[in-house]
Amino acid sequence: MNFENFILPHIWNLKPYSSARDEFKGKEGVFLDANENPLGSGVDENWNRYPDPLQLAIKEQLASLKSCSIDQIFLGNGSDEAIDLIMRMTCQTGIHNIILCPPTYGMYEVSANINHIEQRKVSLTKEYQLDVEGILQTIDKNTRLLFLCSPNNPTGNKLNRSDIYKLIESFHSGFVLIDEAYIDFSDEPSFILELEKFPQVIVMQTLSKAYGLASLRLGMAFAHPTIISLLNKIKPPYNIGGATQEIVHKALANTTFKDKAVQLILSERSRLINNLQIIPEVLHIYPSDANFLLVHFARANELFHYLIEAKLITRNRSTVALCEDSIRITIGISEENDKLVQLINQFYKA
Ligand SMILES: Cc1ncc(COP(=O)(O)O)c(C=O)c1O
């Protein structure tokens, strides 16, 4: 596969910034190379030294957890950084376009708007699946990115794998981005395992959900080593802070928390579904492969505001096309889910 055809020439040919920590990688010695403060930081731990620009300690752990190699991993300041960099390296304003399949994660559109890139929208079907024929008709020679989100936000469902295969095999002018932010809550295998077979696929995952590290901002992109080296070339040199690297390293050394959290969230998801489906005004609970439910309610808007008054915050998706009168509910701990059900019952009985 000739990646050069999909990458903007100025990025392909870019000479990247070479940081002090790129040029000398050892840990021992007297460091007078990076204009750091030699005295420390004035807090309990010292953060006065620049962090590893390529975050190799974390990538070693991830390579083993995700069954891939270190040179197939890019780490970003949240998935949003990876989304932005991928757009910047592939799309030129006024020439290239990307395909989005709404309703889906809103940052694809915002990031494309920031980068001034044409978006072509091909809505999901009523079953929240891909309109494969519609997508294939919309793609042209200047389509550089096709965004697929599975399990999808805000609908919660996974996309049919056979449709994804068909699109990967039929799209030849750019990359298929598969956002797997919620994959840990699904029984679906990750496309990371298929990167060798499909070099035009970029998989995105995040530590913000199942790993419970949203505040640290650690997003991951998995792709062919050529793509990863381009992303590393255009990212800010020290995009993942030292404190984040240290805490993530600890979290990945023991994934018991994540495994237990996923188990608990999945059992709470089933319990919440059972408790919601007996309420007559709950019109539909969409199937979920994620840590949230999209629920179609009678008088959804009013219910949403009633819940806010009671200090229970959900996400109103009622104005989103194909999600009319629906609220997205993150699965909480059992007390929180019970409170939600109690408030919904109160609202409809009032
Ligand atoms: C589908 C999807 N991708 C990515 C993200 C963002 O992930 P991060 O916290 O790593 O930026 C979200 C956050 O809600 C999401 O729903």
Task: Encode pLDDT of 116-174 as tens digits.
Answer: 999 999 999 999 999 999 999 999 999 999 999 999 999 999 999 999 999 999 999 99
CA-CA distance, 149 to 16, in Å (whole number)?
31
Q: Positive or negative CA dihedral for 300, 316, 149, 108?
A: positive
pLDDT value, residue 26: 86
pLDDT value, residue 350: 85
pLDDT value, residue 313: 98
pLDDT value, residue 21: 86
For ligand 1, which residues put their CB under 6 angstroms from it?
Answer: 78-80, 105, 149, 153, 179, 181, 206, 208, 214, 219
CA-CA distance, 1 to 63, in Å (whole number)?
23
CA-CA distance, 281 to 299, in Å (whole number)?
8
Identify the CA nearest to 317 among candidates 303, 300, 305: 300
CB 5 within 8 A of CB 200: no
DSSP 293: E
Alpha carbon distances (Å) from 5 to 9, 137, 139, 173? 9, 21, 16, 8
Measured in Å, residue 110 CA sits from the centre of ligand 1 at: 13
CA-CA distance, 250 to 186, in Å (whole number)?
24
Length of the chain: 350
Element (H, E) at 74: strand 73-76
Is pTM beyond 0.85? Reply is yes
Measured in Å, residue 183 CA sits from the centre of ligand 1 at: 12
Return the structure tokens found at 7.
């990458």
Return the structure tokens found at 65.
């957890």
Measured in Å, residue 204 CA sits from the centre of ligand 1 at: 9
Point out the residues of the chain with pLDDT beneath 70.
none
pLDDT value, residue 227: 98
